[in-house]
Amino acid sequence: MRTAFITGASSGIGAAFAHKLAAEQYDLILVARRKERLTSLATALHQQFRVNAEVLAADLSNPTDIDQIEQRIAGLGTLDLLVNSAGFGLPGTFVEIPLESHLEMIQVHILASVRLTYTALPGMIVSGHGAIINVSSIGAFMPRPGDATYCATKAYLKTFSEALQAELVGTGVRVQALCPGFTDTEFHDQPVYKPYHLKAKIPKALWMSADEVVEQSLKALKQGRVICIPGFKNRVLVALARSALKPLLLKVLEKRLRN
């Protein structure tokens, strides 16, 4: 039986990974802050797919909690898949947001992902197989005003994944940076996003479901693609962001979100 370790598993893309991998008969270790949500998910997945689903309630902004997660990974005989999916947003200009919140985001998005990857990799290399998916964002290609730290942390995950995969050529271990666009989850329902009314301002055609994102991610992983940008329209946006039209694209996005 294969084993997958998923952070941010209580909702959104993390929960969608849990459902999809359970359907593929992975045993699961699920990590998030909300123990009740995790327990409910684990119970449902066990009943539906007859897989083992372990719950680890932890806050990845807390280094002590990360220590405990590292110990759990180190104690596994083998780990087939690590999904670093935990994350959150901080809309607003850099100086408006408390410094502690920026540092917390860097801790969750970057430091936790790097630490868990560092812990999981040696066993994967020894066994000659395994995979790591770091959930980035198309924001990694578009450094938007009002999302400075978010876009920067996601850009780190993209670049880190690309460089790491290059180092691991020939080991049997695969790394992916998953870069979704607007995804219909609880992410944008958080109180900090309510004043922005994003789900009303962003055209419905640009939104994807978490299940669609995960399905395309796992397909890309099997194909050996390091950067996965799910959805044709998201790939078009990224192509524009990489072109001379980038300033215009960012200006349009900023105007739509501000208005």
Q: Which residues are catalytic?
A: 150
CA distance 51 to 42: 9
Which secondary-structure segment (H or E) carries 196?
none
Question: Using only C-alpha atoms, what is the Rg of the chain?
Answer: 18
Query: Edge-to-edge strands of the sheet including 173-178?
Result: 53-57, 26-32, 2-7, 81-84, 130-135, 173-178, 227-228
- Which residues sit opposite 16 in a β-bridge? none
H-helix segments, 110-223: 112-127, 148-167, 198-201, 210-222
Query: Residue 75 — φ and ψ, nearest 5°?
Result: -80, -10
User: In the 8-state DSSP scheme, what is residue 188?
Assistant: G
Name the DSSP letter for residue 129: -
User: Which pair of tokens denotes residue 225?
Assistant: 């693609």
